[in-house]
Amino acid sequence: MAMQPGTLLPSGGLSYVKGDVSPPLSEQTVPELLASTVGRFGNRPAVVFREQNVRWTWNEFSAAVDRMAAGLHALGLRKGDRVGIWSPNRVEWLLTQFATARVGLVMVNINPAYRLAELEYALNKVGCKAIIAPEVFKTSRYLEMLQTLAPELAQAEPGALNAARLPMLRWVIRMEDLPTPGMLTFNGLLERGADVPKQVLDDITAGLGARDPINIQFTSGTTGAPKGATLTHRNIVNNGRYIAGAMRFSEQDKLCIPVPFYHCFGMVLGVLACVSTGACMVFPGEAFQPGATMAAVSEERCTALHGVPTMFIAQLDDPDFAKYDFSSLRTGIMAGAPCPVEVMKRVVSDMHMAEVTIAYGMTETSPVSFQSATDDPIDKRVSTVGRVQPHLECKVVDVDGQILPVGATGELCTRGYSVMLGYWDDEARTQESIRDGWMHTGDLATIDEQGYCNIVGRVKDMLIRGGENVYPREIEEFLFRHPKVQSVQVFGVPDQKYGEEVCAWIVLKPGQSATEEEIRDYCRDQIAHYKIPRYIRFVDEMPMTITGKVQKFVMRDQMTQELGLSPR
């Protein structure tokens, strides 16, 4: 059974593990990491965006990053300024990740499913000075939403926006090369930087520190509004390195990345794992489609594939599955939700992924804390999330913070280089989550005698729908704004396709009536589609304990039985 050399097994019968400390931690910044890879593998393939017909070597990718970084600098954006990226998986997103880092800007990942209320909150919470977005993706009309929040764009010169609802935003950069009032095009951005010498970029990069904030990722909070987890170069560079190490990556590998950039799965487990080793990044499309993903693996001869279980299931069940050649595959990561054992067996046998790994983490820990090894037994890769990553400590504690015996269930806590700086401009919630350096994950877990961790539930009631974390409190607070709603409780019920689906119980105000569709219509264009309740029930009262606490487990059991649902 494989494990990292130097990894400590639980000692004294307690649920505490410590990762291998023999591989040195990197103090490189993101641009330094990229530069070292370019120096070693400059002429090797680095980037493939099949939908946009982009194919770059490392040298070409680096040059494109510098052109964009020069453009951002020419706009007057300076170290520490926040730049939002609101887009599906496009080459402009990838360039933004590295161009912002090159000149010390803080990239803000905005979920492409966000709608008006969520976008307004995110931009204002962290004070974005610029946002980069395409015109449209699926049902999201990004520029139209920005124009709704900032009608002042119609009369503004690019860079001179002064919007009442978005007071910090100055630049709106649209990806398409079409003139739009108040906006700069992406090509226009690149042209702005034409006269910025490379030495200017190099001088800025030289002044950056590994512990500087570089990325803000919004993670919905159980207490309502999303929280901006703030990550450093050191956080994500090292996590990318150790993730790649667990998969035994080298410059000979090609990783197919159908998971979204805005999430750590795409930008750290995917992109930074490749950049740290010189492996080629292959992007099948703007969003996951089973056919496009399988075609990318087959035609590009990918050696690795990432995805949440629902993505692997969609490929395995695709009627054209047999037409594709998976013989080049070796490894990859399945994460985001528990993997059914039969699915794992089929991934190993039918997709040729004998060395597929399972990973566990959270945005606040950059994200991976545990990962299985490429030669762990299948049962360990299904029933656990592997062992602790290098340079991290993890423990399972009771409600008083005491470490529990091996095998006992409690809250999982993580300490080490991966723990975020904190939640942006939210000291109170940062202190709630990080105590004495330990990130309290909110996940219930066990650690066995061999150091394998198993996630068994949530301390609070977060649910996971198709790999997306859904926090009921956020949806509840949004629905409370509906003029007819007196009280609402949101929880998850089992779903064969997504693992869990969103269900809402609503008590209406006296004398009011409403329909399920009316509630869903209220949600549309305001919150992300995956947060909109699939099941809605209007009830007279909520089940309560004697002390007045809502019993969500009673609601969940009742709905599961009423709908004839069964766990996957």
Which tens digit of pLDDT belongs to each residue from 158-211?
999 999 999 999 999 999 999 999 999 999 999 999 999 999 999 999 999 999
Do the Cβ atoms of 366 and 268 come closer than 8 Å?
yes
User: In terms of Cα–Cα distance, which of 284, 351, 358, 355 is closest to 316?
Assistant: 351
- Is residue 367 domain-shared with residue 245, that is, in the same domain? yes
| pLDDT range class, residue 548, cuts 50, 70, 90 | low
Number of domains in the chain: 3
- Tell me what pLDDT residue 8 has: 63
Q: Is residue 374 part of a domain?
A: yes
- The arithmetic mean of pLDDT across residues 253-277, rounded, is 97
Residue 568 predicted with pLDDT over 60: no
Please state the pTM of the whole predicted model.
Answer: 0.86
- Is residue 488 domain-shared with residue 504, that is, in the same domain? yes
- The arithmetic mean of pLDDT across residues 426-437, rounded, is 96
pLDDT per position as a tens digit, 33-42: 999 999 999 9
- Is residue 487 domain-shared with residue 526, that is, in the same domain? yes
- Tell me what pLDDT residue 379 has: 87
- Tell me what pLDDT residue 1 has: 37
Do the Cβ atoms of 107 and 97 come closer than 8 Å?
yes
Q: What is the CATH number of the domain that holds 537?
A: 3.30.300.30
- Tell me what pLDDT residue 551 has: 81
- Is residue 227 domain-shared with residue 323, that is, in the same domain? yes
Higher pLDDT, 568 or 159: 159
- The arithmetic mean of pLDDT across residues 541-551, rounded, is 71
- Is residue 370 domain-shared with residue 406, that is, in the same domain? yes
What's the rounded Cα separation, in Å, for the pair 131 and 110? 9
- Tell me what pLDDT residue 425 has: 97
- Tell me what pLDDT residue 412 has: 97
Q: What percent of the chain has pLDDT over 70?
A: 96
Q: Is residue 214 part of a domain?
A: no
Q: Is residue 521 part of a domain?
A: yes
Domain ends where: 396, 429, 458?
A: 458
Higher pLDDT, 340 or 288: 288
Q: What is the CATH number of the domain that holds 197?
A: 3.40.50.980
- Is residue 36 domain-shared with residue 170, that is, in the same domain? yes
- The arithmetic mean of pLDDT across residues 506-513, rounded, is 94
- Is residue 34 domain-shared with residue 22, that is, in the same domain? no
What's the rounded Cα separation, in Å, for the pair 353 and 374? 10
- Is residue 22 domain-shared with residue 88, that is, in the same domain? no
Q: Mean pLDDT in the chain?
A: 93
| pLDDT range class, residue 224, cuts 50, 70, 90 | low
pLDDT per position as a tens digit, 46-66: 999 999 999 999 999 999 999
| pLDDT range class, residue 220, cuts 50, 70, 90 | low
H or E stretch at 331? strand 331-334
- The arithmetic mean of pLDDT across residues 16-33, rounded, is 96
Domain ends where: 397, 427, 458?
A: 458
Q: Is residue 567 part of a domain?
A: no
- The arithmetic mean of pLDDT across residues 298-309, rounded, is 96
Q: Residue 326 class from Cβ within 10 Å (0-12 exposed, 13-18 middle, 19+ buried)?
A: middle
The DSSP-derived string for 107-137 is: EEEE-TT--HHHHHHHHHHHTEEEEEE-S-B
- Tell me what pLDDT residue 138 has: 92
Residue 406 predicted with pLDDT over 70: yes
Q: Is residue 247 part of a domain?
A: yes
- Tell me what pLDDT residue 6 has: 54
Residue 223 predicted with pLDDT over 50: no
- Is residue 270 domain-shared with residue 397, that is, in the same domain? yes
- Tell me what pLDDT residue 500 has: 93
Q: What is the CATH number of the domain that holds 430?
A: 3.40.50.12780
Higher pLDDT, 204 or 113: 204
- Tell me what pLDDT residue 254 has: 98
- Is residue 436 domain-shared with residue 471, that is, in the same domain? no
pLDDT per position as a tens digit, 451-504: 999 987 667 777 889 988 787 878 987 998 899 998 899 999 999 899 999 999
- Tell me what pLDDT residue 470 has: 84
- Is residue 368 domain-shared with residue 487, that is, in the same domain? no
Do the Cβ atoms of 297 and 326 come closer than 8 Å?
yes
Helix ranges (H only) for 26-160 are 30-41, 58-74, 91-102, 116-126, 142-149
| pLDDT range class, residue 547, cuts 50, 70, 90 | very low
Domain ends where: 436, 458, 480?
A: 458
- Tell me what pLDDT residue 2 has: 43
Q: Is residue 255 part of a domain?
A: yes
User: In terms of Cα–Cα distance, which of 243, 205, 200, 204 is closest to 28?
Assistant: 205
- Is residue 478 domain-shared with residue 404, that is, in the same domain? no
Range of the domain at 227: 16-26+220-458
